């Protein structure tokens, strides 16, 4: 398929690629060839989590069966109301 750049050097990819891919990393080779690779943007925290597959598996297991999840210790007990 031939594609042409417009006056602002943009190109419409139209039906090229998969519909679920909307971001790409593009690499330009020495000969001018452009290589588009589908990309996903994530936060540094998400990337750090993915470097620990055992944690990802624990999260998936908890989501599959929430009854086995440990209770959260992050919540503080509510303060008791005092009567005036």
Q: What is the pLDDT of residues 4-51, one digit of tens each?
A: 999 999 988 888 888 889 999 999 999 999 999 999 999 999 999 999
Q: How is 5-70 classified by DSSP, letter by letter?
A: --TTS----TT-S-TT---EEEEE-TTS-EEEEE-----HHHHHHHT-HHHHHHHHHHHH-GGGSP
Q: What is the pLDDT of residues 69-82, one digit of tens each?
A: 667 777 676 777 77
Q: pTM for this one?
A: 0.53
């Amino acid at each position: 398929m031939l594609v042409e750049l417009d006056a602002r050097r943009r190109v419409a990819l139209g039906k090229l690629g998969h519909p679920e891919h909307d971001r790409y990393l593009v690499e330009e080779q020495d000969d001018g060839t452009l290589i588009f690779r589908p990309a996903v943007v994530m936060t540094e925290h998400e990337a750090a989590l993915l470097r620990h597959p055992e944690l990802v598996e624990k999260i998936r297991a908890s989501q599959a069966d929430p009854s086995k999840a440990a209770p959260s210790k992050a919540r503080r007990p509510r303060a008791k109301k005092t009567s005036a």
